[in-house]
Amino acid sequence: MNTEFDPGAAQPPGAAQPPGAAQPLCVSGQALRYGTSAVHEARLELRPSDGRLYLIAQANKEQLFDCEPRQAKLEPALGSTPRRVKLPGGHLFVTQDPNIARLFPESRRARVVPILERFSYLSLVMLVGIILAAWMIWRTAVPMAAHVAAWATPQSWLDRMDQVSLATLRQGWSLDSDLPSAQKQQVQGLLDNLVAALPPKDRIGYDLYFADASMINAFALPGGSLVVTDGLVEEFAADPDAIAGVLAHELGHVVERHGLKNVYSSAGTYLLVLAMFGDVGPIFEDVLVNTTVLLDLAYSREYEQAADDFGLALASKAGFEPSGLIDFFERLNSEAGQRGVAPPEWLSTHPSFKRRLERLREQLR
């Protein structure tokens, strides 16, 4: 215990040192003993005489504690909260005095992070950086990762996914429609011709299902199950090129694994948004989730375009009239025009018929 210590003097106790010699670095604050809530006004001193840290009570100048500086840990600054020094043995020293940093050599990370966290022009630079980086990740890193993940997914998983989806579909629809079997066989024949034109590695087993529904629609499941509605088959009974064009488009989804990529890239977008905003509370979370859904639609529209390109090439390679897909969209486009307004494109999983038609015509030219 050092009873001679005088807090008013800048001189270390009892030492007759020449003026200008090293003086103790001294910071006042509060000390809390290990595991206790009582607060003691105290000061922390680094004495140059022995290079040790001393904790001294302000009230009675009692020396509470001493240790080597490297045994104590100064926590990185955090906004304007008091700086915290964790002393060995679980004691705590808290101070508002910024000079505390002069007692401890801080690590680079402990120095850099508070600089980034202070509001300055750097904050604005980082804000712009966040927007740019998020855009780049969303445009390139997420699709690339989805691409790699989609190719790494084994076919057996896809087959199982198909089984589950088909079981769900069967709850709403019959997948063995009453269509005449001659008509079914004709469509199956179109599919066989298209599959024969695929490169051998892409000729996985494709299963064709006819859904008992009057709407005009067709879709593909990731494992190679294709579903066409009776409405589509009947509407285009006289135009096999159109049906072949649609089937070729759906084959494009399967071969290029669009369904799977969609799942992976949705997960990626969700993670990106989550990383940026974190835990936002119950109501705004809904807003956020809906935003990511809108973002995912952009990927979906790109896949549709890619499948159109693929379908056009495949249909012509298999010997069909490549304009079949164009006929198909023209018919749908005029019907949609009669029915009224379509939702705006950014709210839609598919690009507008008009845009798809333009693109297909351009490719045929």
Partner 1 sequence: MKRAPIYPVEFRGKAGEWFAIWIANVFLTVVTLGIYSAWAKVRFKKYFYQNTYVGGRNFDYHGRPKNILIGRIIVAVVIALSYVPGIQVVVVPVLILLMPAALVLSARFNARNSSWANVRFDFMGKIPRAYVIYLIYPALAYVALIVFVTATFFVVTKGSSLEPSQLAGLSDTGKLLALLDVWPRLLLAFVISLIVALFFVTLLFRLVQLYAVNGHRLAGLPFSIDARLSEYLGVMYLAVLLGAVGGAALGLVVFALSAVFVYWTAAALPALVVFSYGSLILGYIAFRVGVRNLLFRNLELGRGTKCHRFRSTAQVLEVVGIIVTNAIAVSLSFGLMLPWAKIRYYRYMAENTFVLVEGNLDDFAGDAQDYQNSVGEAYGDFEGLDLGIGL
The footprint of partner 1 (CB under 8 A) covers 32-39, 78-82, 84, 90-92, 113, 116-120, 123, 126-127, 129-130, 133-134, 137, 141, 156-157, 160-161, 164, 271-272, 275-278, 280-284, 287
CB closer to partner 1 out of 12 and 268: 268
d(CA 346, CA 329): 19
- The pair of three-digit structure tokens given for residue 281, joined into one six-digit string: 């509370």
Q: In this structure, which amino acid lies at residue 84?
A: R
Could you tell me the smallest distance in angstroms from the CB atom of residue 27 to partner 1?
18
d(CA 245, CA 310): 10
CB closer to partner 1 out of 196 and 276: 276
Could you tell me the smallest distance in angstroms from the CB atom of residue 320 to partner 1?
35
Could you tell me the smallest distance in angstroms from the CB atom of residue 87 to partner 1?
10
d(CA 67, CA 104): 13
d(CA 259, CA 97): 59
Could you tell me the smallest distance in angstroms from the CB atom of residue 124 to partner 1?
9
224: which DSSP letter?
Answer: S
CB closer to partner 1 out of 81 and 217: 81
CB closer to partner 1 out of 228 and 260: 260
Strand partners, 63: 56
Could you tell me the smallest distance in angstroms from the CB atom of residue 253 to partner 1?
20
Could you tell me the smallest distance in angstroms from the CB atom of residue 265 to partner 1?
15
Reference 251, options 210, 191, 200; nearest CA is 191
d(CA 243, CA 263): 27
CB closer to partner 1 out of 275 and 364: 275
d(CA 322, CA 315): 6
CB closer to partner 1 out of 223 and 324: 223
CB closer to partner 1 out of 84 and 249: 84
CB closer to partner 1 out of 137 and 312: 137
Reference 86, options 98, 72, 106, 99; nearest CA is 72
- The pair of three-digit structure tokens given for residue 19, joined into one six-digit string: 């003026």
d(CA 306, CA 283): 36
d(CA 40, CA 75): 20
CB closer to partner 1 out of 101 and 145: 145
Contact (CB, 8 A) for 47 and 54: yes
Beta strands 73-74 and 83-86 are antiparallel
Strand partners, 222: none
Could you tell me the smallest distance in angstroms from the CB atom of residue 152 to partner 1?
12
Could you tell me the smallest distance in angstroms from the CB atom of residue 118 to partner 1?
6
Could you tell me the smallest distance in angstroms from the CB atom of residue 108 to partner 1?
14
d(CA 288, CA 293): 9
d(CA 36, CA 90): 10
